[in-house]
Every structure is written in structure tokens, then in C-alpha cells.
């Protein structure tokens, strides 16, 4: 083999080797990206177990009649202890080499709605430190708790941006827990059991420094008090429709929301025409 022939052969072999290395690295990266973090997989299994126990307990309280057939177990894909939890239903992970963290949990209507006692243990969410979106709508939760961290529980989820509790049965006792989620951009509490004065002056709402969208529609709120401290928050959209407002004076606190662009007051008992004429 001449020197030129050997040179051409070596170039071809080198290209083959480089291609093989590239394919190998690509396959390794694909395997690693979005691979489930073990602690978060175990956290999901613990959360599922807790939710299933709520259903079982509710069935026992309801004269022994199961309210959810055993064969229709919730979150069926959450069962393989060695599978990639990033591929489980209602779960979305970040793209990260070496393990994708859970960033979205969409747990909407995973349990039959009930009027029986149904608490949510917030400490079960601490296994997901990178969580950005949490959806729990339509599950009938009536109160929040954390026996260790108390009202500060959600403060541990520093990346949380969206929290959706639409159509549950939360009352005003949930506000101190929710107020600890200081990183929130969107908070949905529509169709719950909130009532009266939801946020006393300079309390509760003032903690939501980054909040931009707040949906409080379909509750029984009749007073929106606020202090000067609200001038520092970034709220842009506020939905107060379908509540119990009957006097525009009870909305005076809104004047402190200097960045508010959208205010929805439909389906209240307000006489806005009289209010305008009286000015």
C-alpha cells in the first residue's frame, strides 16, 4: 500500500471512528436527559399513596360505600419503581443531563369530588424543589396543612410560578399557607369557599410580590381591603367576578394596585352606574 493510499485509508477510518463516537455520545445524552431523579420518583409514589388513602377513607366514611372503584386506580402509570417518572402521566420534567427535575404536576380531577373531609398535606410537595407549575383543580380539598413547617410550607418551593386550586373547597384558612409561595406569578382560587374580607390591610396579598394574575371568581368575597404596601406588588389581572360585592366602597383597596390592567367584576351586586353618578 502506497503512502497516499494509507493516508486515504486512515482518513476514512478516522471519520468512521468520529461518527461512532458521536453516535455513542448522542445516545448517552438521550438516555440521561429527562431521566427521573430518584428522590422525586419516590416523592411521586408517596404522593400517590396519600391521595389513594384519602379516597379509601372517604369511602369508609360514606357508609362503607367505595366512591372510587379499585380497578380505576388513580395515576395508573405511577407504579413502576424503576421506570422513568418523567414519562408518567401528569408529569413534566426539565431537560437536564444526569436527571430531569419535575417542573409540572397536572393533578386535575384525579379524585372524585366529595363533600367529605379532604386535607392536602403540603409537605409531600417538598420532594420537587424545581416545581414550577402545580395544578390541583377539581379535587375537593377543603384545607391545607403541614405538621412540620406549618404556614411556611410552600416557601420551600422557590421555583413555583403557577398554582391552580380551581374548584376545591378551600376557605380563608388556606390564605396563610398560600401567601408563603412568594415566587408565584399566577394563582387560581376560583370556585372555592373563600368569603368576607379575604386580605386584611397590609397582610396576605402583600406577600405576593411577583404575582401577576389572581383569579378569585365564584367565591363569597365581599370586601377587598388593602394597604399602601400593595403598591409594591405587580398584579396585572384580578378576577373578582361572581362574588358578593354590593358596595363599591368595599373595592377601595384596589386603588393601591398601581399595575392593575384587567379587573373583572361581572356577576356581583354592584350598581356601577349609581357609583359613577355619585362622584
Q: Give the pLDDT score at 29.
A: 47
SS3 43: helix
Nine-digit cell string for 167 = 374548584
Q: Among the ranges 55-59, 115-119, 199-203, which has the highest mean pLDDT value? A: 115-119
Domain-wise residue ranges, the chain = 1-32, 36-277
In this model, does residue 244 exceed pLDDT 60? yes
Q: Evaluate if residue 22 carries a pLDDT over 60.
A: no
Q: Does pLDDT of 229 surpass 80?
A: no
Answer yes or no: are the C-beta atoms of 123 and 87 closer than 8 Å.
Answer: no
Under the banding of pLDDT at 50, 70 and 90, the label for residue 93 is: very high
- Stated pTM of the model: 0.82
Thinking of the domain 36-277, which architecture would CATH place it in? Alpha-Beta Horseshoe (3.80)
Q: How far is CA 273 from each of CA 54, 222, 245, 269, 279, rounded to the nearest angstrom?
A: 48, 19, 15, 12, 10
pLDDT above 70 as % of the chain: 74
Q: What pLDDT score does 275 carry?
A: 42
pLDDT reading at 25 higher than 70: no
Q: So what's the pLDDT on residue 31?
A: 47
Amino acid at each position: 500500500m502506497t503512502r497516499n493510499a494509507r493516508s486515504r485509508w486512515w482518513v476514512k477510518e478516522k471519520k468512521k471512528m468520529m461518527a461512532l463516537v458521536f453516535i455513542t455520545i448522542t445516545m448517552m445524552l438521550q438516555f440521561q436527559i429527562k431521566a427521573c431523579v430518584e428522590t422525586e420518583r419516590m416523592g411521586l409514589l408517596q404522593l400517590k399513596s396519600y391521595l389513594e388513602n384519602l379516597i379509601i377513607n372517604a369511602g369508609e366514611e360514606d357508609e362503607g360505600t367505595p366512591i372510587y372503584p379499585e380497578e380505576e386506580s388513580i395515576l395508573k402509570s405511577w407504579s413502576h419503581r424503576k421506570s422513568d417518572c418523567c414519562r408518567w402521566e401528569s408529569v413534566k420534567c426539565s431537560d437536564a443531563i444526569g436527571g430531569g427535575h419535575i417542573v409540572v404536576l397536572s393533578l386535575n380531577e384525579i379524585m372524585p369530588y366529595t363533600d367529605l373531609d379532604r386535607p392536602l398535606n403540603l409537605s409531600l410537595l417538598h420532594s420537587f424543589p424545581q416545581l414550577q407549575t402545580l395544578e390541583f383543580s377539581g379535587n375537593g380539598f377543603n384545607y391545607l396543612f403541614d405538621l412540620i413547617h406549618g404556614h411556611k410550607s410552600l416557601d420551600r418551593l422557590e421555583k413555583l410560578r403557577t398554582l391552580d386550586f380551581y374548584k376545591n373547597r378551600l376557605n380563608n384558612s388556606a390564605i396563610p399557607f398560600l401567601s408563603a409561595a412568594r415566587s408565584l406569578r399566577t394563582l387560581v382560587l376560583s370556585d372555592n369557599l373563600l368569603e368576607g374580607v379575604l386580605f386584611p390591610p397590609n397582610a396576605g396579598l402583600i406577600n405576593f410580590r411577583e404575582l401577576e394574575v389572581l383569579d378569585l371568581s365564584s367565591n363569597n368575597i365581599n370586601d377587598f381591603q388593602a394597604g399602601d404596601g400593595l403598591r409594591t406588588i405587580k398584579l396585572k389581572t384580578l378576577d373578582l367576578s361572581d362574588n358578593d360585592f354590593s358596595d363599591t366602597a368595599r373595592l377601595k383597596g384596589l386603588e393601591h394596585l398601581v399595575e392593575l390592567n384587567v379587573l373583572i367584576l361581572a356577576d356581583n351586586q354592584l350598581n356601577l352606574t349609581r357609583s359613577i353618578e355619585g362622584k
